[in-house]
Structure 1
């Protein structure tokens, strides 16, 4: 004899087919709506952080190449874990990009810094 299943939404006993997942169409709809909301919230969180990162990289990199302390960016909300793509140069340094603005983490005299760059046409070429 099989163990009775309960609805993941309301914990009611599920009656009917053995592969049924919800006790009613309402519970199925509630679950789908909540999943969509969670996915939408995650997307909005990522999008907001990418926009913040891009704004800060643009603000601190007026000349096309700059160096800034990591703490200066992080205090303003920069999160290096959010980026859109990366590029590796011939020295195997990996630059992370947020759209057209990139950063490379460096340590100089024990101080953590970012080298900020702007995407260049030569970066499109594969080696």
Structure 2
């Protein structure tokens, strides 16, 4: 006997195996995607998304390889300086934080908080 129920995603009648839940792989994928959006994002996803956003922002403001930008501008775009992938300390003792190949150094200039933006160079890895 063929059991008839409805697809969990599109609500069409199902025919076939008694434990079948979806019409096809597309309905299964769509249903699982919609269910995953209801869940609280995992910590890994939050960190990964912030790193991607930070990199995108640093890249956008650093077209020439070195730039200085007011911190408010970056922060207003969603930049979070607490999320970085690694750091590099120069011979003066300044610590540059990097989001992959894009780095930043916080400093005060004319009583304004700014970030110096740089791109990773080969000599930094030595």
What's the TM-score bracket when you normalise by the shorter of the two chains?
A: 0.5 to 0.7
Q: Which residue of 2 aligns with 1:103?
A: 104
The answer for unaligned runs of 5 or more in structure 2 is: 1-38
Instruction: For 2:111 and 2:58, locate their aligned partners in 1 and report how far apart those are by CA, in whole Å.
Output: 22
Instruction: For 2:75 and 2:110, locate their aligned partners in 1 and report how far apart those are by CA, in whole Å.
Output: 19
Structure 1 runs, 4 residues or longer, greater than 2 Å off: none
Deviation for aligned residue 1:121: 0.3
Q: Which residue of 2 aligns with 1:69?
A: 70
Instruction: For 2:42 and 2:105, locate their aligned partners in 1 and report how far apart those are by CA, in whole Å.
Output: 29
Q: Which residue of 2 aligns with 1:91?
A: 92
Instruction: For 1:78 and 1:110, locate their aligned partners in 2 and report how far apart those are by CA, in whole Å.
Output: 21
Q: Normalising by structure 2, what TM-score?
A: 0.68
Instruction: For 1:99 and 1:54, locate their aligned partners in 2 and report how far apart those are by CA, in whole Å.
Output: 7
Q: Normalising by structure 1, what TM-score?
A: 0.67
Q: Which residue of 2 aligns with 1:33?
A: none
- Structure 1 residue 56 corresponds to structure 2 residue 57: yes
Deviation for aligned residue 1:109: 1.0
Alpha-carbon RMSD across the aligned residues, in angstroms, is 1.2
Residue correspondences, number? 88
1:27-50 CA-partner distances (Å, limit 9, x unpaired): xxxxxxxxxx87x71000000000
Instruction: For 1:124 and 1:83, locate their aligned partners in 2 and report how far apart those are by CA, in whole Å.
Output: 16
